[in-house]
């Protein structure tokens, strides 16, 4: 690891593996002292099995019992199940991604939901959580907020954790994050070695200041996390980034084909940010059938939204809210 990456890892990594690691009262005082408003965003597509419990825990713990959070928003990305109904019943606000900034149309992918959440929320601090999290994650929200509330130089905070892998009912304690280890980490180490200390570059749990997030583009698919990391490095510098050890992260594991498509989008994102031109934008995978192998091709080209601060409707709404 380069000296700058090692120094960042040592100086910008904090621990919030449980609520016992956090002084929540001090964070609440810091929030009030800074006049902050906090929005928690859960992008979701067909997550009725998990989104209700997760949204309900955030609302109950951090809105009603301890007023650390001001709004909890689920951005529904064309779910075909009861994701929206379950989230509303849990106390969260819910918007359909297609209904936000409708004049700009809609695109598939997680990054689209995250981008549109900037226009659908009011907080100056935003926390993003994947909607398929399992287990006790009540400490995630204050853990991710802590560096933003206590250090004005920090503009973006990544969560990091151990990721168990569950396949066919069998659990491996630290086998998750396969796209990170096999795709994202080698590419980032090669192209942006100063980011070598980031433990979970593709992790879906992070927080940031609106003033920073609105100034960078959002990739529409699964490349959104690596795109944000690289773009915010450019905007804020390495010293403006931080990470928090949140302990363990459990979620619904994907099959190999799905992971391959995710990896393809990550590769496209990294190549685009590195300045590479002429990438094919198509991933071909193979399925074995009775007559041999059948090729299946999926688009993985980079599709991105511009910085939200350049969107006229957003600027007008923000100006009216001040």
- Beta partners for residue 241, in sequence order: 156
Domain 3-320 has CATH 3.30.930.10: no
Q: How far apart are CA 31 and CA 36, in angstroms?
A: 5
- Beta partners for residue 279, in sequence order: none
Buried b (16+ CB within 10 A) or exposed e, 52-71: bebbbbbbebbbeeeebbbb
What is the model's pLDDT at position 99?
97
Cβ burial of 178 (10 Å; 0-12, 13-18, 19+) is middle
Give pLDDT tens digits for 198-255: 999 999 999 999 999 999 999 988 899 999 999 999 999 999 999 999 999 875 667 7
What is the model's pLDDT at position 228?
98
Q: What average pLDDT does range 145-166 have in this prediction?
A: 92
Please tell me which residue, 231 or 286, carries the higher pLDDT value.
231
Locate the domains of the chain by residue range.
3-320
């Amino acid at each position: 690891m380069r000296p700058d990456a090692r120094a960042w890892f040592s100086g910008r990594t904090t621990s919030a593996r449980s609520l016992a690691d956090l002084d929540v009262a001090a964070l609440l005082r810091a929030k009030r002292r800074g006049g902050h408003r906090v929005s928690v965003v859960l992008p979701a597509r067909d997550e009725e099995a998990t989104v209700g419990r997760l949204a309900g825990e955030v609302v109950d713990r951090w809105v009603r019992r301890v007023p650390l959070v001001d709004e909890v928003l689920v951005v529904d990305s064309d779910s075909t199940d009861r994701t929206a109904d379950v989230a509303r019943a849990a106390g969260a606000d819910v918007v359909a991604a297609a209904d936000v900034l409708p004049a700009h149309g809609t695109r598939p992918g997680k990054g689209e939901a995250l981008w549109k959440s900037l226009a659908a929320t009011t907080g100056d601090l935003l926390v993003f959580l994947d909607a398929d999290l399992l287990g006790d994650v009540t400490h995630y929200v204050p853990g991710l907020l802590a560096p933003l509330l206590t250090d004005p130089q920090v503009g973006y905070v990544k969560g990091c954790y151990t990721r168990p892998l569950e396949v066919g009912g069998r659990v491996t304690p630290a086998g998750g994050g396969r796209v990170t280890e096999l795709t994202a980490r080698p590419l980032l180490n090669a192209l942006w070695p100063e980011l070598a200390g980031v433990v979970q570059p593709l992790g879906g749990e992070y927080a940031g200041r609106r003033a920073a997030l609105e100034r960078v583009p959002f990739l529409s698919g699964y490349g959104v996390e690596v795109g944000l990391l690289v773009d915010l490095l450019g905007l804020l510098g390495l010293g403006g980034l931080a990470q928090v050890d949140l302990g363990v992260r459990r979620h619904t594991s994907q099959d190999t084909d799905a992971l391959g498509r995710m990896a393809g989008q990550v590769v496209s994102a990294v190549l685009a940010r590195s300045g590479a031109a002429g990438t094919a934008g198509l991933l071909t995978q193979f399925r074995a059938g009775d007559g041999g192998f059948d090729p299946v091709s999926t688009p993985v080209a980079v599709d991105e939204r511009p910085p939200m601060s350049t969107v006229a409707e957003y600027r007008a709404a923000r100006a009216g809210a001040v």
